[in-house]
Structure 1
Amino acid sequence: MSSDDDIEVHSLDQDLGDFLPASFGKKSKGPDIEAQIERSRRKVVQEVNKPSGKQASSSGGGSDDSDSDSDDDSDDQDEYPVSHELVLRTHERAVTATSLDPAGGRLVTGSLDGKANLHDFASMTPTTLRAFRSVDPFATRPSAAGETHPIHHVQFNPLSGGVFLCVAAHPQARIISRDGDIVTEFVKGDMYLRDMHNTKGHISEITAGGWHPEDKNLCITAGTDSTLRIWDINNKRSQKEVIVFKSKAAGSAGRTKMTAVAWSSSAQGPNILVGAALDGSLVMYGGNGPFSRPAGEVREAHKPQAWTSGLDISSDGRMVVTRGGDDTIKLWDTRKFTKPLVTVAHPSTSDHYPTSNIRYAPNSTSIVTGSATGDLHILNPGNLRPELVTPITPGSPLITVDWHPKINQILTGSANGEVHVLYNPDKSTRGAYEVLSRAPKKRHIDDNPELTMDQSALGLSGDAIVTPGALAGSRNKGAAASGRPKDPRRPEQPQQTPFLKSQPDDRHIAENIPLARMLHEDPREALLKYADKAQKDPMFTKAWSKTQPQTQYAELSDDDVDEEGPEKKKAKR
């Protein structure tokens, strides 16, 4: 090398920077929480009927339209907690009711299978999305072979959160603790009494219920016996107040079915009680009584004999929204309770699912409800126009919705047995966001009861009596015996208990008991089958055929018999 120009110098920092570690020490191998939350992002968010978006799209060109639509979608995802979701598949049939406690940490869901499932967000992880307890509060005695009643309504106490009200297709409502234990079972009324004021409870099926907005010990139930009954949870022997609604419809004999009820809060406005009836009436009472005469009544608020399942009152107690079985949603003003302010068309699902509801959002800034196509509709509280329509369970009706004010998350229950918890990581707290922020639970082979013989892990002793189908791994809840997915609309088949197995059926009797088939045969026909055989080959009179002489009779013609006639009978003395 004669000169310095022949020497090439490379930058060591640029070449070795790719090989040097970014940090030193032990690296954490934990899960990527951000990626875990990103996987829960919903793919479809459809925005409709935004006035500003329509005006922008009509004034601009094609590229501007696409830009404005994308901006509107992103704005809606930030405005409403619908950008991410957590799916809970815990029921085999349609989910008809959902409720969160005031803190937003415990969830209860009710279904047509008669079960109420309790979920605890504090103990769930992304790999353990299941209920910690499933109770059947309305199951009859074991002799009834598993008969139960579909649940219509569940709601946590908004003041205490320690118990929730459970209403099913049964005359008796129940108060259940947050751990699944029955605390109170209200009494059933005497069905033979004509005057409903004298009965101590409902005499027929209960359709809806709710809690008092200020007193944690009071709740209300609506029944098909044309009454609204206010209960004290500390006294289960009789209701505190009974409101008998006398229908004005012709031919109903003064009775109709109460289909929905709502009790408003008096924090910002008047305390009112509103109920809906099957004859189309909408009736309003003062929340603190007296209940002898309604403060307002609207006849034919909805079409008669159309089940009005959705009813809710705004936070200030001035507006009432109803969703009827006549495919309409109506907005009412309690200060002028005569005719609806706004009426919009909305397909109803109350024919198949009478618990389809409608709810005000926190602070009454929006109205949420479901549809028969499985979409979530967020409506404007002033004109009932849809501000956001997003699919939740396409092809499966969305039955129940709820918007929790504290954690800012939306709950939905669908006919396919799924519960969707919608949230936004930026504006939602706890709840589903807290579950997806945890590390997945590591599975062990002993967690599956089908692959282990250690019964102590299941809480069973050596002499324990196991009910068939009680273990979690004893059956596949999501599939039938053939391996195909179970139809959620198909009625649940009762389990075959050991008691039923010990009872012989007709087939067992016919195969194992001699001459059992003779019980269902005609004795005359059974004997005539052997008439020819007895004559040809007699068994008991075989010796007489050789010893007895042949009987000889006189040969008489028919004419001789007719001429002589019958012999005269001797006169009796």
Structure 2
Amino acid sequence: MGKESGSDGDKDSDDDDSDEDEEEEDEFPVSHELIFKTHERPVTTITLDPSGTRLVTGSTDCTLKLHDLSALTPTTIRAFKTVDPFQTKPSAAAESHSIHQVLFSPLSGGQFLVITANPQARLFSRDGDMISEFVKGDMYLRDKANTKGHTSEVTSAAWHPWNRDRFVTAGTDSTVRIWDVNKRMKQEEVIVHKSRAAGSAGMTRMTAIAWGPAGDGNSSIIVSAALDGSLVMWSGEGPFHRPKGEIRDAHAKDTWTSGLDISADGRLVITRGGDDTIKLWDTRKFKSPLNIVSHASISSQYPTSNIKFAPNSSSVITGSETGHLHILNPATLRPELVTPVTPGSPLITVNWHPKLNQIFTGSANGQTTILFNPNLSTNGALTILSKAPKKRHLDDDPNFTTDMDPLGMAGDTVELGGKPGPTPGSFAARHPTVGLTASGKSRDPRRPHIPATTPFAKSTPDERYVRENIELSSMRDEDPREALLKYAPKEGEKNVFTGAWDKSQPKPIFKDYDSDEEEPDAKRAKR
């Protein structure tokens, strides 16, 4: 009897545990998943616009993938555009760098920032067109405060919490730079981080940066992490000559702190270090961590592995080397839920969208996963799955597709002597040279002529470049006479500029000619 009652008790306890697990899962949007096979190499960064309709992913394959979530269907889950940030300029056709970070503007969503493994940040429109490329500094200048941009690789960036025109970047040149999106030729502010580590000569690499609201709610703060193990906090609105707070040994020296985030109220900072720890900090007492937990780091292999607060700061999410998503309690840093996403493949980047209430993850196997809950989430993956699968059209089968010749005339091909050729008697057979260039390539008469780009045209600045990047260039369109007459005194006003000569100025006397008097010979000769 006792054994039977004991077994019944075990069953009851098992049922209670399973009920608790189900309740925990219901609290977070992780009950369902939608998989995107976006890249062939590890996904290093994920960003979404504020509305949650445009998804951009970056990878170590040096490309960006743009997805329109509102237009996808269950059978057409793929990117509508692939962008290589370095293929936008012909002069950099052979250059490529892995993508470190992609960040949509948190307010407008009309543009996103791209950070690659080189010294220049790039700004793109939401459709993948490059808007501007920010300047690179002179690497031969010893004083980094006098350079116009980063002199070595940029590792991380962050947007201003409420100013859509400002963002900050951190680089391996031991500087933090604040930029204006409308001024690409020089940064607004330069903060040179002086390392106190022995043997570093005052220089270290900045590994991560975040820009968020301050705890008082009236200003913002910038927090950055460095390779020397330090964690530094500045006031986001200045002054920048000295930090607001600094912790020298926040993490172990010479370990890469890859994850850094600020809570929504600006009172907490979470860091994920390369020393296999996650630490929680209070911005009001920026001296020692509030809590520390052990968590295996993958920053040595994937330096963009991040950690994020939930939109309401009620949870903390991060990935692991085993491919699991960890949802932590922000007070104790203990896991509230651990769920597998890509078992056996490290989970590199995570993003919790506030409007969709869905979690987006990127893994080392090139997979992007959307975790959601139909009862808690809205739009996004739910919109995709609610659509009927796209029906296959007859023209999608290549066996029933008719090829088009250069003039747009349909014609089937036949085998002539073992080689494909035009059908005898067809237009292509009767006019073999029509629609072909001298070298035998196809020429489509419907396509407009595109002028060849010459080396001279590449280096010649256009009107927009002159207007935006050359100071006082607008003076070329001014009338100099009108510009001077602006300073002419009005009637009754004192002549400020030339009033000193009003009394001493000699009166000009000109010779008057009568109508009958002849003009001088010299004047007549000129005519």
Equivalents in 1 of 2:383, 2:230: separation in Å?
44
Task: State the partner residue of 1:193.
Answer: 141
Matched, 1:118 2:57: no
Q: Do the aligned residues in 2 keep the contact of 1:139 with 1:149 (CA within 8 Å)?
A: no
Quick one: which amino acid aligns to residue 421 of structure 1?
I
CA distance in 2, matches of 1:360, 1:206: 23
Instruction: Choose from 307, 329, 334 the match for 1:358.
Output: 307
Counterpart pick for 2:268 among 319, 327, 330: 319
Report if aligned partners of 2:277, 2:292 keep a CA contact under 8 Å in 1: yes
* 2:168 maps to amino acid: I
The alpha-carbon distance between structure 1 residues 230 and 453, as it changes in their structure 2 partners (threshold 3 A), is farther
Name the residue aligned to 2:258: 309
Say whether the 8 Å CA contact 1:138–1:168 is kept in structure 2: no
> Which residue does the alignment assign to 2:223?
274
> Scaled by the length of structure 2, what TM-score is found?
0.74
How far did 1:271 drift? 1.5
Residue 495 of structure 1: aligned partner: none
| Cα pair 1:268 1:315 within 8 Å, conserved | no
Q: In the alignment, which of 419, 426, 430 is matched to residue 375 of structure 2?
A: 426
**Deviation larger for 354-363 or 141-150:** 141-150
- The 3 A distance-change label for structure 1 pair 350 and 452 is farther
Matches for 1:101-500 after TM superposition, within 5 Å = 101-139=49-87, 146-266=94-214, 269=217, 270-447=219-396, 452=401, 454=403
Counterpart-to-counterpart distance in 2, 1:463 and 1:307: 58
Aligned match of 1:81: 29
Q: Is the 8 A contact 1:219 1:230 kept in 2?
A: yes
Within 1, Cα distance between the matches of 2:396 and 2:139? 50
- C-alpha contact 2:86 2:93 (8 A) present in aligned 1: no
1:78, distance to aligned residue in structure 2 (A): 1.5
Does the 8 A contact of 1:399 with 1:414 survive in 2? yes
Alpha-carbon distance in 2 for matches of 1:106, 1:463: 41
Q: Is the 8 A contact 2:69 2:384 kept in 1?
A: yes
CA distance in 2, matches of 1:443, 1:106: 26
Distance 2:94 2:396 in 1: 28
Question: What whole-Å deviation, never above 9, does each CA across 1:252-301 have from its counterpart, x for those lacking one?
Answer: 11110000000012597351110000000000000111111001000111
Q: CA deviation at 1:341?
A: 1.0
State the distance in 2 between where 1:362 and 1:455 align: 53
Measure, in 1, the Cα distance between the counterparts of 2:49 and 2:255: 32
Letter in 2 for 1:289: G
Residue 103 (structure 1) shift: 0.5
Cα deviation per residue 1:425-477 (whole Å; 9 max; x = unaligned)? 11100101110011111122434679745469xx9x9779xxxxxxxxxxxxx
More strand by share: 2
SS at match of 2:97: coil
2:43 is aligned to: 95
Describe the shift of the 1:407–1:140 C-alpha distance in structure 2 as closer, same or farther (beyond 3 A). closer
In structure 1, how many angstroms separate the alpha carbons of the residues matched to 2:145 and 2:231? 21
- Report SS of the residue matched to 1:61: helix
Greater Rg by CA: 1
Tell me, in whole angstroms, the C-alpha distance in 1 between the residues paired with 2:93 and 2:220: 45
* Stretches of structure 2 lacking an aligned partner (at least 5 in a row): 1-5, 411-434, 438-527
State the Cα distance separating 1:72 from its structure 2 match. 1.5
Q: Secondary structure at the match of 2:213?
A: coil
Distance in 2 (alpha carbons) for counterparts of 1:121 and 1:186: 30
Q: Call closer, same or farther: CA 1:68–1:277 in 2, change over 3 Å.
A: same
Partners of 1:237 and 1:143 in 2: CA distance: 19
SS in 2 for 1:238: coil
Aligned partners of 1:313 and 1:321 also within 8 Å: yes
Distance 1:316 1:418, change over 3 A: same
C-alpha change, 1:107 and 1:451, in structure 2 (3 Å) is farther
- Report what 1:64 is aligned to: 12
Post-superposition offset of 1:147: 3.6
Compute the displacement of 1:142 (Å). Answer: 6.4
SS of 1:159 mapped into structure 2? coil
Q: Distance in 1 between matches of 2:43 and 2:404?
A: 33
Runs of 4+ in 1 over 2 A off after TM superposition: 138-147, 265-270, 444-456, 461-464
Q: Please, what is the CA RMSD of the aligned residues?
A: 2.3
The higher-RCO structure (CA 8 Å, 6+ apart) is 1
Aligned counterparts, 1:467-546, within 5 A: none
Deviation string for 1:399-421 (max 9, x for gaps)?
00010111100000000000001
Counterpart Cα distance in 2 of 1:413 and 1:179: 21
Secondary structure at the counterpart of residue 64 of structure 1: helix
- Secondary structure of the corresponding residue to residue 204 of structure 1: coil
Alpha-carbon displacement from aligned partner over 1:347-369 (angstroms, at most 9, x marks no partner): 00001000000000011000000
What letter is aligned with 1:436?
Answer: L
Structure 1 pair 451–81 and aligned structure 2 pair: CA distance change class (3 A): farther
2:115, 2:50 → 1: CA distance?
19
Over 3 Å counting, the alpha-carbon distance change for 1:202 and 1:448 in structure 2 is: farther
Whole-Å Cα distance in 1 between the matches of residues 27 and 15 of structure 2? Answer: 18
Distance between the aligned counterparts of 1:111 and 1:454, measured in 2? Answer: 36
